Chain A
Amino acid sequence: MQISINDADVFVSTGGRVADEHAPVLLFLHGSGQTHLSWLLQARFFANRGWSVMAPDFPGHGLSGGAPLTAIETMADWCHTLIMAAGHKKVTVIGHSQGGLVAMELARRHPEYVAGIGLISLALAIPVNPQLISMAEDNEPAAFDAMVTWGHGHDGAFHDHPMPGNSHIFMGKRIMASNPEGTLAVDLKACAAYADGEQAAASITQPAMVILAGDDSMTPCKQGEALAAAIPHAELVKIEHAGHMLPIERGDDVNRALRRLFEQTGA
């Protein structure tokens, strides 16, 4: 689906389905330097099971136009605009990594629009290593390599993808390389600058779930547990032997957990 937000063309994957207008809405938010394709194993899955899926490419990412947004708060407001533009009143928001910060901030700023929240591979903050930021600025392909390599656990490292014939590592690099040059650095700086995780987490009153990967070396599990503890009623789900790119590395496990959340949110 193509939609215009703030004068820029925005692409929103609907998981290949045109949803029933009364279907509960799921808003999937991708992470730094990613696109809607992070949700390869979620978008089609939930769209074909009665949910109305919206997995946008943030401005300056994937198939969306515009310039990348520079702050998590701006991204959260942008999501709010997107929800209204699509004619929805309430969504369950699911964010991966940076997308999780945006989801929390969306819930804090516009709680009446959020029915529930799923946070994947996330901590209260993402204090990006300054070296990675300079790498993203000076030698983007090296930063893609580093992130994709750190971002996967055993299955990714061994190219053992749930979809026959696919390689997480090279798909991951290609997805990152498909974004306009400079996008990753803007995202990483936005993550590094975001300091309101504690307050945002504490403000969440909706049903919430935190899904963590046992071998996440980007947002380590321990810090993810602190996030879950900071949210008043969050269910914590830990998936062992997986890395940061959990939604693609362990699609079935993630979908099973999310489905439980969606049943609670009535979504």
Chain B
Amino acid sequence: MSKSFGFDTLGLHAGYTPDDRHGSRAVPIHQTTSYMFNDTEHAAALYNLEVGGHLYTRISNPTIGVLENRMAALEEGVAAVAVATGMSAVFLSILALTSQGDHIVASSQMYGGNINLLEHTMSRFGVTTSFVDPTDHDAIAAAIKPNTKMVFGEVIGNPGLDVMDVSAVAKVAHAAGVPLVIDATLNTPYLMKPLKHGANIVIHSLTKWIGGHGIAMGGVIVDGGNFDWGQNDRFPTLTQPHFAFQGVNLWEEFGPAAFAMRVRSEGMYNIGPTLSPTNAFHILQGIETLGMRMDRHMANTAELVAFLKNHDGVAWVNHPSLPDHSCHDVAMRQMPKGAGSIVTMGIKGGRMASQAFIESVELASHLANVGDARTLVIHPGSTTHSHISADAMKAAGLTDDLIRISVGLEDINDIKADFNRAIKIAQKKTSAKGS
């Protein structure tokens, strides 16, 4: 068996071999907190990172392990750690690299939760962030300081939909001796694998397209293994003796997987945002059809964008596939299969009309999520991004009439009919009527 498999095959098989005892074809749910040790020597070896295996579910679990291996395989990373949510994946990544007094350069156009974590939570612990426009590479270079530990951004900004040129930003970060960490939730490894474009760490909220069903929270951190942590003395958490495991030097003993080992050996040991094994199982069910679902998401998105673009009642539509989108060329080059299934638009009549639209859809669901199998709509200005400052809103590309659509897998004609109806109602209800 000396083969390398394609995306859909890995999505179905990676990380799991049916066990000899039961031969279970589907990945079993190991709903257990702990594992029997063979003897005291085996226990000690597990506690000391000498052998593979599981000792306590906060640290690792066989079902979660399959999910981790599968995500590493799909992203082409050396190792992955799955966690309870996308937010905890972001937090543990920051925790693995930064300490008090350190600094992060981050995209100003990110999911509100990411911005809040950096701006309000990390700053209380002495880790500060400079937010910069991810398409302004000079600004990124200028923002990197001697205490900067990472450049952080999203491929497709949520909900501004600007697209980062990952290889260009990676070059800027690497020239300064700093890794590029990417939240790739909106693109999934099916549309783009940021590690292949020079990013070093990839984070996902598995809650979204990767699960796809909207039934389970989850997050993952994938270590690209493609950053030389020993090139400078910026990364003592990886290149100096660990506080535990007899002072292991992770860079020397685990090499390309040093970062993932730090996440597990500190983040999971000392913080413990553990994914439930049952949720890992649910997310694995989603991954099995990720490729096929993304194709359908992209086909529906293309049709819906064309429909909205030509609709009288729509003031504007934004999607990176549109030729007039400021990041169109980068998007097409990086994501030839499609630039994600988030579309934003404004209804003629401004904020009131947009809110009326959201209240009038019947098939689409008004809720705070993206990447569900069902079509979702929301008004970020009054919800997901309402906690961020007016300046940050502006930087994130948010106007007050902006509706965010997460295009689902329904029959496209039904989505179009629902939107058509709601747009008409919205216009009747507002002063835009007849305009």
| Pick from B17, B228, B252: contact of A13, CB under 8 Å | B252
CB distance from B73 to the nearest CB of A (A): 4
Interface contact B247-A16, CB-CB below 8 Å:
yes
| A63 contacts B2, C-beta separation under 8 Å | no
Contact A155 B17 (CB under 8 A): yes
B1-51, CB < 8 A from A: 1-5, 10, 13-17, 41, 44-45, 48-51
Q: How far is the CB of B196 from chain A (nearest CB, A)?
A: 11
Contact flags (1/0) for B52-85 with A, using CB distance below 8 Å? 1110000011001100111011001111111000
**Chain B residue with minimal CB distance to A241?**
B1
Q: How many A-B Cβ pairs are below 8 Å?
A: 148
Nearest Cβ in chain A — how far from B5, in angstroms? 7
B253 with A166: CB separation less than 8 A: no
CA distance A171 to B68 in the complex (A): 14
Is the Cβ of B65 less than 8 Å from the Cβ of A158?
no
Report if A121 contacts B (CB, 8 A).
no
Give chain A nearest CB distance to B276 CB in angstroms.
Answer: 16
B52 contacts A251, C-beta separation under 8 Å: yes
B254 at the interface (CB under 8 A from A): yes
| Chain B 226-275 interface residues, beta-carbon cutoff 8 Å to A | 226, 228, 230, 245-249, 252-257, 260, 264
A160 in contact with B51 (CB, 8 Å) = no
Given contacts A45-B50, A48-B48, A167-B69, contact A16 B249 (CB under 8 A): yes
Q: Residue A43 contacts which of B17, B45, B245, B253 (CB distance < 8 angstroms)?
A: B253
Q: How far, in angstroms, from A151 to B79 measured CA to CA in the complex?
A: 19
Q: How far is the CA of A33 from the CA of B253 in the complex (A)?
A: 18
Q: Judging by beta carbons under 8 Å apart, are B260 and A165 in contact?
A: yes
Cross-chain contact B51 with A252 (CB below 8 angstroms): yes
Q: Does A191 contact B (CB under 8 A)?
A: no
Give the chain A neighbours of B255 by CB distance below 8 A: 35, 37, 62, 174-175, 178
B77 touches A167 (CB 8 A): yes
Q: In the complex, what residues of B have CB within 8 A of residue A152's CB?
A: 2
Q: CA A243 – CA B2 in complex, angstroms?
A: 8
Q: In the complex, are the beta carbons of A159 and B69 less than 8 A apart?
A: yes
Q: Contact flags (1/0) for B398-420 with A, using CB distance below 8 Å?
A: 00000000000000000000000
Taken together as a complex, chains A and B put the C-alpha atoms of A40 and B50 apart, in Å, by 8
Residues of B within 8 A of A220 (CB): none
The residues of A that contact B48 with a CB separation of less than 8 Å are 44, 48
**Most B Cβ at <10 Å: residue of A154, A167, A169, A252:** A167
A160 and B16: CB pair below 8 A? Answer: yes
Distance between Cα atoms of A159 and B16 in the complex (Å): 8
Residues of chain A in range 172-221 having any CB-CB distance to chain B below 8 Å: 174-175, 177-178, 215, 217
B52 near A16 with CB under 8 A, answer no
Contact partner of A165 (CB less than 8 A), chosen from B4, B76, B81, B253, is B81
Contact with B along A40-65 (1 / 0, CB 8 A): 11011100110000000000001100
Residues on B with beta carbons closer than 8 Å to the beta carbon of A154: 1, 17
Can you name the residue of chain B whose Cβ is closest to the Cβ of A215?
Answer: B1
A48, B253: Cα distance in complex, Å: 13
Indicate if A262 sits at the interface (CB-CB under 8 A): no
Minimum CB–CB distance for A178 against chain B, Å: 7
B225 contacts the other chain (Cβ, under 8 Å)?
yes
B72 touches A166 (CB 8 A): yes
Residues of B within 8 A of A45 (CB): 45, 50-51
A149–B69 contact, CB under 8 A?
Answer: no
Nearest residue, chain A, Cβ from B65: A164
Whether A165 pairs with B2 at a CB distance below 8 angstroms is no
Size of interface on A: residues with Cβ below 8 Å to B: 48
Min CB–CB distance A265 → chain B (angstroms): 21
Task: Kindly name the residue among A11, A63, A158 whose own CB sees the greatest number of chain B CB atoms within 10 A.
Answer: A158
Please give the distance in Å from B152's CB to the nearest CB on chain A: 21
Given that A44-B49, A63-B230, A171-B78 are contacting pairs, would A16 and B72 also be in contact in the complex, using a CB cutoff of 8 Å?
no
Residues on B with C-beta less than 8 A from A17 are 246
- Contact string, A227-267, partner B, CB cutoff 8 A, digits 1/0? 00000000000000001000000011001000000000000
A16 touches B245 (CB 8 A): yes
B51 touches A162 (CB 8 A): yes
Q: Which residue of A lies closest to B74 (CB)?
A: A159
Q: Cβ of B10 and Cβ of A159 under 8 Å apart?
A: yes
- Of all chain A residues, the one with the shortest Cβ separation from B2 is A150
Q: 1/0 per residue B72-106: CB within 8 Å of A?
A: 11001111111000000000000000000000000
Check if A31 is an interface residue, CB within 8 A of chain B. no
Instruction: Tell yes or no: A19 within 8 A of B by CB.
Output: no
The residue that B3 contacts in the complex, of A35, A37, A157, A178, with Cβ under 8 A, is A157
CB distance from B99 to the nearest CB of A (A): 22
Residues on B with C-beta less than 8 A from A169 are 4, 73
Question: Hey, which chain B residues are within 8 Å of A171, CB to CB?
Answer: 78-79, 225, 256-257
Minimum CB–CB distance for A239 against chain B, Å = 14
Interface pair A162/B14, CB less than 8 Å apart: no
Q: How far is the CA of A227 from the CA of B100 in the complex (A)?
A: 57
- Shortest beta-carbon distance from B67 to chain A in Å: 9
| Nearest Cβ on chain B to A264's Cβ, whole angstroms | 20
| Residue of A48, A165, A175 touching B72 (CB-CB under 8 A) | A165
By a CB distance below 8 angstroms, the chain B residues around A100 are: none
Known contacts A158-B13, A167-B69, A174-B226; A16 and B248 CB within 8 A of each other: yes
Does A153 sit at the interface, judged by CB under 8 A?
yes
**Quick one: closest B residue to A165, CB to CB?**
B68
B17 nearest CB across to chain A (Å) = 5
Per CB-CB distance, the 8 closest pairs between chain A and chain B, nearest first, are A162-B52, A165-B68, A174-B225, A174-B256, A164-B60, A164-B65, A159-B73, A167-B72
Question: Can you name 5 extra interface pairs (CB under 8 A) apart from A157-B3, A166-B79?
Answer: A40-B253, A152-B2, A154-B17, A165-B68, A175-B256
Q: List 21 interface pairs A-B (beta carbons < 8 Å), by A numbering.
A: A35-B255, A37-B254, A37-B256, A48-B44, A62-B255, A145-B4, A159-B15, A159-B69, A159-B73, A160-B14, A160-B69, A165-B81, A165-B82, A166-B69, A167-B73, A167-B77, A167-B79, A169-B4, A171-B257, A177-B226, A217-B2
